[in-house]
Every structure is written in C-alpha cells, then in structure tokens.
Amino acid sequence: MSAAISVQGVTKRFRIPLDRGATLKYRLTHPRSTAKYQDFLALDDVSFDVPHGQFLGIVGRNGSGKSTLLKIMSRIYIPTHGSIVLDGRVSPFLELGVGFNPELTARENVLLNGAVLGLGRRELRRRMDEMIHFAELEQFVNTKLKNFSSGMQVRLAFTVAIQAEAAILLMDEVLAVGDARFQAKCFDVFNRYKREGRTIVLVTHDLAAVDLYCDSAIFLEHGRVIGEGQPSDVTARYRRMVADEQEADAIASGETGYSDKAESTEARWGNGDVRIASVRLENAQHEEHTNFEADAPMTIAVELEARRDVTDLVVGIGIHRADGAVIGGTNTHIGRAVLPPLAQGDRLRVSYSMNRLPLLAGAYRLTIAAHPSVHSVTYDHLEQAVSFRVTDDSGRTGLFDLGGGWVVSSEQRAGAVA
Amino acid sequence: MALTSALRPPASAPEAVSTLRRHVNLTLELAWTQFKLKYTGSVLGYFWSLLKPLMLFSILFAIFVVLFKQRTNEFALQLLVGVVVFTFFTDATGVAMSSIAGAGHLIRKAYFPRAILVVASTITALLTMMINLTLIVVVATPLGHLHFGLYSAVLPLLLVELYALALGFAFLLSSLFVFYRDLGHIWEIVTQVLFYASAIVYPVVAVPERFRGLFFINPLAQVVEDVRHAIVISVVPWTADYVGVRILVPLGITAIVLVAGLLVFRRLTPVFAEYL
C-alpha cells in the first residue's frame, strides 16, 4: 500500500524575535543589529507514513507541536528540515469557519468558503439547498453571520468544510460540533469518508474519537513522536501521562486535604468523602489492558480511598458508546453487594467481573461513581474516564452480543423417511 | 533555510487546468466579496467610487481652469481622465498593500496561493476605473469633446501597462508591509509626489523641454499622457523623437517593477504565516 502522506525527518524551528524591529526607523537606526532571536524547536525529526484510506490521530498536550505539524502538512508552514510528500489533493482548511465574514450572509459565506475549497459557483449553487438543510439553517440563509449563534456558525462551518473533494483532509479540532443530534451527523460523515477511502489526519483532544475512528495514532511531546501505533494504546499512554502529572502536581503543591471545588472538573465531580483512587481494566490473568476480545473475561477493578468516615457507600459503573450514549450500567446496590463501613484513610477494592464480555467491536468508555445508597450527594464521579476497545472478528453486528442461541428443527415429509 | 521538501507531485495537464480554474474562481469570489463589503451599509453604495474622483476633479477644475484660466486642448477633460487613471493607481496599490497583512487568520489557517489575495484586491479598483472611463466616453462623446481614431486602439494596451505597473507595486508593497508597517505612511507620501509628478494637474507642455525626458521615466506620467492622447486630444502620442525615451523606458520600468514585485513576493510568501 502506497502512502498518501509521507513525512520524513521533519524539523521546524521558529525564530522568535525578542525585539521585532518591525519599523524602518529601527532598521535605519540599528543598521548593524542582527535582531536577537530565540530559537524554538517546534518539531524535532518527525517521521511517519499514512497509507491511503487510513485515519491518523495525533494526540499530545497544548504546545506539543500538533498544529505545527498539521500546518506543515498543509503547506502553510515550510519545514526547516525534512520532506513531506502528499499523494492527492489536500483540503485547504485546518479549522472550521476560517475566512467566515460576519458581515456576509450564510449563503454568501458558503460561496466564499466554497471557493477557497476549490468548488465552483455553479457546483455550490447546486449543493446549496442540501447544505443549508444539513446545517439546519433553512430560515437563516439570508441572515448575516454576525446574527448567528455560535452553534449555528459552527454547524454552517462544518457543513462547508465537509464539501471538500480533497482526497486528504487535515483537521484541527473539528470533531463533534453542535448538539448531540448534530454530532451524530458529524460522525456519519466520518463513516462516509472512511467508506470513500479518504485519508484523514485528526488533531484532537477527543481521545474517544481517536479510539473510535483512527486506524493509527501518534503521540507528540515537545515536538517529538514519543508513541505510535494502535490508537487505544497511544491514547491510553497519553491519558496515563496526563494523570501521572496531575498526581505529581497535587503532591508537589502539598495538596493533601480535599477541597470540593479544586477537584471538580467537567469530567469529575463529587464532595470527595470517598475518592476513586484508580480504575483498572483487567483480563483473565489480572493484567491491565485497554484492548479486549469480545466474549473474553473482563474485570473492572476500582480502588477507593475514604477521606472521611463513611458508612453508606455504593459503587456504580456505566459503559458508554464512543458518542457518549450509555449502553449498560449497574451498581453494588443493585447487585446486592455489601460494602463495609470505611474509616478515614481506609482503602477498599471493588471489582466487577464479566466472564464473557458481551460487547462487540468498537471503542467504549467507562464511567465510575461512588455515592450513598440514596443518591442525594456524590462522593466521586469520573465521567467517561477510561477508554477501552473491543475487537471481534466473528461478524456479529451492533454493540453487544444478543446472547441467544439458534435452534433448528425441521419437519420432514413422512414419505421421505426411509 | 534548507528546504528539500517535495510538496507536490507533478501535476498532470488537465489537473493543472482545473487548478487554474479553481484559482481564478477564488480570485473573483474574493474580489466580489470585497466589493460587496466595501459598500454594505452605505446609502449611495457604489456611487461613492464614482463621486470621489469626480469631487477631486471638481476641486482641481475650480482651481486650474476657473481660477488660473488653464484652457489648452480640452484641459478639463484631460484633467478628468488623469484623475480617473491616478485614482485607480492609488486605490489598487493602497488596498493591495494590506491584503496580506489584513488576512492573517486566513493565511494561518488555510492554504491557497497567497497571490490570489493581492490580485483580488486590485480588481475592485480596476472595475471602478473601467466604469469611470466608460462613463466619460459615453457622456463626453456626444458633446464632441472626445476624438477617436485608429490611434485610440492603443488604449487597451495602455490600460494593460497601467495594470501591470499597479500589480507590480501591489506585490511589492503587500509582501513588504507584512514586515515593515511604516510602508503605509511612506507610500502615502510617494503617491502624493507621484500625483504632481505625473502631469495630472498641468499639461505636459508646462514641463520645460530639457526635463521632459526625465519626466517620462515615470511610467504613470507616460500612461496618463498617452491615454489623453489616445482619446481626448487627437495628437499621435508618440512622435518619432520620443519613441526611445517616451515608450521604451517607462515600459521597461513597468516590467522591472512587475518582475521585482513577483520575485520579492515569491521570496517572502513562505514566511507570511509565521509572521502574521
């Protein structure tokens, strides 16, 4: 398989002027000054190939060089060293709504952005109704963009961006925009791209999307590739690194006590009376894994730590599809498991074991929660915190095994019996 | 900068054609958008483009024709033509100068040939000039003030020369403006000087004979003068003793400006995204 994108030893060094000297006066009064620069190595000898029709995810923290790499692939930046070979037309946009003008109407913006994408006016007019319908903006075709809500703008931008006929698409955080219903449409588009055999490079912080859609992933840190391969392995490594650092930060800042607010994020909340210390997904041999075979055993092992005396504790789990929908959940209360009262500082291990994982191929996320039996307060809630992937080559379709068995009984004609 | 990047596989012929068509389409779409944006919210809209040179003309007319009794060879009409041509030059170069620096977001986030931004920004000015010249012809011809002949056929060529000159400066200014913002002020002064150095407010005969060679080194002066000769006064624009100086030198300078503009622009294009 030939590569659609081949990146060989790409290095990008930015010279950040300490004093810009951007006026002629400066140049004239300091004719000899070689302006002072600070070199910043944004990318350091990065190499990888993306075969035709494959999706590559690039993960890494802010400032790790992800966007610079994407800009080099799209020819916006020129690499300091190294080469990039692209086999096929590349979509010119990296982000949504680039070049949108608030003073123009939705229709005018579509025509202008479409032209940047390389589409002719006639072609755009032909697609206009369909596009406006997709963006759910039928009543606002001739409304100026400045009067649009941000959700409307982003729907329009996404709709225009997916009109690109390019074989190679480079996308910087353009996934999953709009409300849940529109997001579903976005994912449909990605599935269509997959079927059409387009090559896509995704830069995103949405690790679940990387797990679900990408065929491979690379992990950038300080401009270097420090991990590449299976998306679930790469994202797991990234998650682990971020988690380790958060822990190190907490220890470094001497944060031993618990404050409710400091620990609350969009993905984690609770009063902290009980803290979920770790969550492990284990296989039959009790080894930690993020990749599971369908029908194989799986154990969800949760470690809890009490920060106060707690007598009433329920631990719950929920499994989500990659788009966030819950497909299964239970808790210790429903399962009639009795948890002992905990004194401050006690640790407790609770695990949920499945002899036969009913999930089929795909990427999933796990939510863990600890709360009292009357769920009026939450001790700790980790929303979709752990990702895992299930592989299956049996050919069953959907999300889970139906669990039934086939029975065939035939009624043979009497005469046929020997 | 060591650059070994083979960014693009060799394009096949039909692909090159479709690429060109896409780029032309984008240029026109950008020009049309700028045109629309320039006049949204104003009551008179496009008429401002016609009114502005007309006002400048009226003032100059009051001073030079009414006050100083400058009446030679349809001077009023010569003045009007000069003002229209000169307005195009300042409009086109002025707008083009910020066409790159003002499109930072687009340049940082999307890839397309940057020259498209520069060309698109000159098109509005070009259209305005065409409409203004057409209006002059339509209004002045029935009044018997314009003189057409075979020599008038040279007008399109003069306009091509004018556009090439403006485009050359547009490329030069737009790329340098990214790095040196003083250029905006400098160019304002330069155009002011050019206005008086291009015989717009006085007839060329006012220039002493011995300086005239020097005077016509300025391509703008040559274009203004020849456009006048081609449609306003029925004098063959290039007398034999002028051919060398009057045509070849300004043409050569125009070519140099255009080539220099393109070279500088091409040289600086790769770093636009990093500087903006």
pLDDT in tens, B79-95: 888 999 999 999 999 99
pLDDT at A261: 34
User: What is chain B's mean pLDDT, rounded?
Assistant: 83
Name the minimum distance, in Å, from the CA of A27 to any CA of chain B. Answer: 9
The mean per-residue pLDDT over the stretch B225-231 comes to 84
**A&B contacts, CB < 8 Å:** 99
Neighbour count for residue A368 (Cβ, 10 Å): 23
User: Is B107 in Cβ contact with A76 (below 8 Å)?
Assistant: yes
Q: Is the pLDDT of residue A263 over 70?
A: no
The mean per-residue pLDDT over the stretch A125-131 comes to 90
pLDDT at B71: 67
Euclidean distance between the first and the last CA atom of chain A, given in angstroms as a whole number:
58
The mean per-residue pLDDT over the stretch B111-124 comes to 92
Show the tokens assigned to A245: 């650092």
Residue B146, CA distances (Å) to B54, B139, B204 in order:
18, 10, 19
Q: Is the pLDDT of residue A321 over 60?
A: yes
pLDDT at A271: 84
Instruction: Report the predicted TM-score, pTM, of the whole model to 2 decimal places.
Output: 0.71
pLDDT at B96: 94
pLDDT at A19: 61
Per-position b or e across A239-253, b if 16+ CB within 10 A of its CB:
bebeeeeeeeeeeee
Name the minimum distance, in Å, from the CA of B176 to any CA of chain A. Answer: 10
User: Is A71 in Cβ contact with B106 (below 8 Å)?
Assistant: no
Residue A65, CA distances (Å) to A12, A41, A55, A223 in order:
9, 9, 19, 5
Q: Is the pLDDT of residue A209 over 70?
A: yes
The mean per-residue pLDDT over the stretch A116-137 comes to 88
pLDDT at A84: 92
A23 shares contact with chain B (CB less than 8 Å): yes
Between β-strands A216-221 and A224-229, what pairing exists: parallel, antiparallel or unpaired? Answer: antiparallel
The mean per-residue pLDDT over the stretch B151-178 comes to 93
A25 shares contact with chain B (CB less than 8 Å): yes
Q: Is the pLDDT of residue B201 over 60?
A: yes
The mean per-residue pLDDT over the stretch A34-39 comes to 70
pLDDT at B4: 35
pLDDT at A319: 92
pLDDT at B214: 79
Higher pLDDT, B95 or B142: B95
pLDDT at A31: 63
Residues of chain B with pLDDT > 70, as a percent, come to 89
pLDDT category at B161 given cuts 50, 70, 90 is very high
| Longest distance between any two alpha carbons in chain B, whole Å | 66
Q: Is the pLDDT of residue B145 over 80?
A: no
User: Is B7 in Cβ contact with A84 (below 8 Å)?
Assistant: yes
Tens of pLDDT along A276-286? 988 888 888 88
In whole angstroms, give the CA distance from residue A352 to residue A370: 14
- Chain B residues with CB under 8 Å of A85 CB are 6-7, 9
Tens of pLDDT along A169-198? 888 877 656 677 777 777 788 888 888 889
Least confident interval from A76-90, B192-206, B223-237: B223-237
Tens of pLDDT along A386-398? 888 888 878 788 8
Q: Is the pLDDT of residue A418 over 50?
A: no
pLDDT category at A20 given cuts 50, 70, 90 is low
Higher pLDDT, B195 or B4: B195
In whole angstroms, give the CA distance from residue A280 to residue A351: 9
User: Is A108 in Cβ contact with B181 (below 8 Å)?
Assistant: no
The mean per-residue pLDDT over the stretch B241-247 comes to 62
Tens of pLDDT along A333-384? 888 888 999 999 899 999 999 999 999 888 888 999 998 887 777 888 888 8
B189 shares contact with chain A (CB less than 8 Å): no
pLDDT at A18: 66
Selecting from B5, B22, B108 the residue whose C-beta is nearest the C-beta of A118 gives B22
| A299 strand-pairing partners | A282, A353
Least confident interval from A234-243, A398-407, B156-165: A234-243
The mean per-residue pLDDT over the stretch B215-232 comes to 85
In whole angstroms, give the CA distance from residue B231 to residue B80: 12
Higher pLDDT, B82 or B74: B82
Q: Is the pLDDT of residue B121 over 90?
A: yes
pLDDT at A176: 55
pLDDT at A255: 40
Q: Which of A74-78, A331-335, B264-268 has the highest mean pLDDT?
A: B264-268
Residue B8, CA distances (Å) to A4, A235, A273 in order:
12, 32, 59
- Chain A residues with CB under 8 Å of B110 CB are 76, 92-94, 98-99, 116
Q: Is the pLDDT of residue B186 over 90?
A: yes
Residues of chain B with pLDDT > 90, as a percent, come to 33
